[in-house]
Amino acid sequence: MNTVAAVLFALLTTLSNALATVLQRKAARRVPDADGLRWSLITRLVHQRVWLAGIAAVGAAACFQALALANGPLSVVQPVFVLELPAALLLAGVILHRRLPSEVWRATACITAGLGVALWAASPSEGHAADAVPAGRWLLVLVCCLSTAAALTALAAARGPGAVRAASLGMAAAVCYALTAALLKTSALRWEADGAAGFFTAWQTYGFAAVGVAALFLLQNALQSGSLVFSQPALTLGDAGTSIALGVVLYGERIRGGWWAAVELAGAGLILAGLVLLSRSPLAHELTAPDPQAEAARPQPANNH
């Protein structure tokens, strides 16, 4: 295991995902409103180099994440992804030719400092090999994570659009993303040990694909349910916290406790403050909101007055 390589690949994953978000958003802005919710939307997007570049960035991010998880602890790799929103905003300022306000720079510095403090205080260490995880422990983790996500989704379904619904769906997506990463880690290590045969015969490979689709679905609904002020912190901190817990339970990773926990919480507090500040940025809403084309094409309720 190489923690330095894991952090490097995690940063490359973050930058690739951020770049994909910005490029695909730029491509969507070029599509006529009339193509919303039609197959012609995909046809037009496929003919745009910027959209294809965004898809390539998504593929690169998946490869970088697998390499990160194969080289380091889950509790190190996943928390690095709290930098994705700041990275997306900074790249958007360049690619979309937007001037970033000073608040974005301050929030980015706050999140970066908070991540550094939290990881320094936690000092995560590598655990045992992936093949040493008992089947019973995997079953327990799957039941706990999926039932938690289902309960949060049910809570969101019982509420109208707003803070509770957005936060609940954001947290449900976070749990699924963390579980996806845990499954991907084992699959990546199987590839490293046994090649493609080991990768495609591991049940975790199909598990992370299925859970990843569920995570994406929950994320899209979280973004449509309320302000980013509620969904983004739940998603980002929920993913990091759940990933650390899964790293400890599944792979025997260790983090420092005792009075170090207070420093770790202080770092998490800095990240939270930065995320709340960033999620209020108009550019953040533009990057994560549904495409204007689709919104324009969506049927409007009849006016009976």
Please report, to the nearest 10 degrees, the dihedral formed by the alpha carbons of residues 236, 238, 240, 246 taken in order. -150
- Chain center to CA of 47: 28
pLDDT value for 290: 54
Q: What tens digit of pLDDT does each residue of 64-110 get?
A: 999 999 998 999 999 999 998 899 888 888 887 888 888 889 999 99
% pLDDT > 70, the chain: 85
Q: What tens digit of pLDDT does each residue of 28-59 get?
A: 655 544 444 344 455 556 666 777 888 888 88
Q: What tens digit of pLDDT does each residue of 149-192 get?
A: 999 999 999 988 888 998 999 999 999 999 999 999 999 989 98
pLDDT value for 37: 36
Closest alpha carbon to 272 in 114, 65, 47: 114
What DSSP element (H or E) covers 129?
A: none
Closest alpha carbon to 2 in 187, 10, 133, 260: 10
pLDDT value for 285: 75
Mean pLDDT score of the chain, rounded to an integer?
A: 84
The residue with greater pLDDT, 301 or 246, is 246
Strands, DSSP E only, in 245-302? none
Alpha-carbon distance 61 to 20, whole Å? 9
Q: Residue length, the chain?
A: 305
**pTM of the predicted model as reported, rounded to 2 decimal places:** 0.81
